[in-house]
Structures are given as C-alpha cells and as structure tokens.
Amino acid sequence: EAQVTQNPRYLITVTGKKLTVTCSQNMNHEYMSWYRQDPGLGLRQIYYSMNVEVTDKGDVPEGYKVSRKEKRNFPLILESPSPNQTSLYFCASRLQGNTEAFFGQGTRLTVV
C-alpha cells in the first residue's frame, strides 16, 4: 500500500531533550516536506527536500533540522525542543513539483 509513515504518533518530552520524528515513504517520490499545524495558522512548511542530499528551508525552519540521506526517509530533528514547538507535525511527499502531496498520519508533539 502506498503510504507515508511517521513515527511516533504522539510524543511528550521535556525542554532541551533532543528528539527525532521519522518519516518514510514507499512511493519513490522525489519531494518530501515537513509541516507544522497550529490553530488558526494552517499548515506551515518547516523544511522541504527535492531529492537526496538536497534540502531547503520552508517558512518556519528555526529550531529544526532535517536530512535526506536516502530517497525514502526524511527525518525531522529537534536538537533542543522548546514549548513553542508544541504542535501537530505532518510529513508529506510528492512525486514531482506540481503533483499531489501525500501526508503521513501526523505526530502530536508536546514539549513541557
């Protein structure tokens, strides 16, 4: 089944404790992105990647890191999480620039 898989689905952590949210897609898509969703603000892009080893900042990259060592995986790293990073995070992939995006199930992160 074609899908985007994120893990974990839920995470509660403490300020400053490094964490990684994994994202994997099995559709051989070129493009992958991370978004955060906050009430009233919609989906804001954190980082995106056009291919292996090619990444670029989205609109809200501060406090986040990504890597794209393999085509299928695009992990999101929070080196030192802060409470303002409490949010719902979505990973998405798409085949090419102008094709539909497929989203993962989401990761609800709480930083206390």
Partner 1 sequence: GQQVMQIPQYQHVQEGEDFTTYCNSSTTLSNIQWYKQRPGGHPVFLIQLVKSGEVKKQKRLTFQFGEAKKNSSLHITATQTTDVGTYFCAALYGNKLVFGAGTILRVKS
65-66 and 10-13 as β-strands: parallel, antiparallel, unpaired? unpaired
Task: Copy the structure tokens of residue 25.
Answer: 């897609």
Question: Is residue 61 near partner 1 by the rule CB under 8 A?
Answer: no
Residues between 89 and 108 that touch partner 1 (CB under 8 A): 90, 92, 94, 97-106
Dist CA 16 CA 90 (whole Å)? 22
The stretch near partner 1 (CB under 8 A) out of 19-27, 40-48, 62-70, 72-80 is 40-48
Exposure class string for 78-99: b at 16+ Cβ within 10 A, else e: beebeeebbbebbbbbbeeeee
Using the rule CB under 8 A, which residue among 7, 11, 19, 58 binds partner 1? 58
Site of interaction with partner 1 (CB under 8 A): 31, 33, 35, 40-45, 48, 50, 56, 58-59, 90, 92, 94, 97-106
